[in-house]
């Protein structure tokens, strides 16, 4: 089973920041938090990942709480093309390395 | 760099047939994993290969098999197809195996329809 909990759906206005929450209260110290998104019928696209510190790249920012039990993916200026299902995944360092356990994700709808 | 490529992109088969799907990882990547995505079950892990050896396997019947070649390209095979095997089959590659901080990049998938 997925080790994360995400809201099933969210709406965001175009041009506004989209903040997608993820709960991973059972995360252990050596587990990473990954975010992927999947636009309808395409392969999942890697967005960002982090261990403890906040991370930022050209696509998004990842904010991880100090206790690491939750995180937020931030798309700073959402566009219509950001409409997708967003998956938050916890990956175990010493576990099954090939096995990304996907939950149901959050369906983000960006509206004009 | 070119991304992960999968062939064919679409495939239609009938029950009882077998099918082979192909995945070419990103150049330099040696780990390839396969996933099945259906509306009912979501994305589920099938297996992972690294250096031509299966390193990890999901909970799928033996009809699902795979292999990896010396150039890291991978194939998966499904024998005796069932209607429930209709799905999007995704391949992901990463540079090394065994590190949680290593990003896996997905291909566009092969859409298999079993009639």
Among the partner residues B42, B44, B88, nearest to A41 by beta-carbon distance: B88
At B26, the pLDDT band (50, 70, 90 cuts) reads: very high
Q: Which residue among B4, B33, B108 sits closest to A98, beta carbon to beta carbon?
A: B33
Q: Which residues of chain A are modeled with pLDDT < 70?
A: 1, 93-98
- pLDDT the model gives residue A23: 96
pLDDT digits (tens, 9 = 90+) for B58-83: 999 999 999 999 999 999 999 999 99
- Rounded to whole angstroms, the Cα distance separating A61 from B4 reads 25
| A8 token code pair | 């099933």
- Residue A41, classified by CB atoms within 10 Å of its CB into exposed (0-12), middle (13-18) or buried (19+), is exposed
Instruction: For strands A9-13 and A106-111, give the pairing.
Output: parallel
| pLDDT band at B98; cut points 50, 70, 90 | low
Cβ contact B99–A96 (<8 Å): no
pLDDT of residue B100: 60
């Amino acid at each position: 089973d997925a080790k994360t909990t995400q809201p099933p759906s969210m709406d965001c206005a175009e041009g506004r920041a989209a903040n997608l929450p993820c709960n991973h209260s059972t995360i252990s110290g050596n587990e990473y938090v990954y975010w992927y998104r999947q636009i309808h019928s395409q392969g999942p696209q890697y967005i960002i990942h982090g261990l403890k510190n906040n991370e930022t790249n050209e696509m998004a920012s990842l904010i991880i709480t100090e206790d690491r039990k939750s995180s937020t993916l931030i798309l700073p200026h959402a566009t219509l093309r950001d409409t997708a299902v967003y998956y938050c995944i916890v990956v175990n360092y010493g576990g099954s390395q090939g096995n990304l356990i996907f939950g149901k994700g959050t369906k983000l709808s960006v509206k004009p | 760099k070119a991304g992960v490529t999968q062939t064919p992109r679409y495939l239609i088969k009938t029950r009882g047939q077998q099918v082979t799907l192909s995945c070419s990882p990103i150049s330099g990547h040696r780990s390839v994993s396969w996933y099945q995505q259906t509306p009912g079950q979501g994305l589920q892990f099938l297996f992972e290969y690294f250096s031509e050896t299966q390193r990890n396997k999901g909970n799928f019947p033996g009809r699902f098999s795979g292999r990896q070649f010396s150039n890291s390209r991978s194939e998966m095979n499904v024998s005796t197809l069932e209607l429930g095997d209709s799905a999007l089959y995704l391949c992901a590659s990463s540079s090394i195996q065994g590190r949680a901080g290593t990003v896996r990049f997905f291909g566009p998938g092969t859409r298999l329809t079993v009639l």
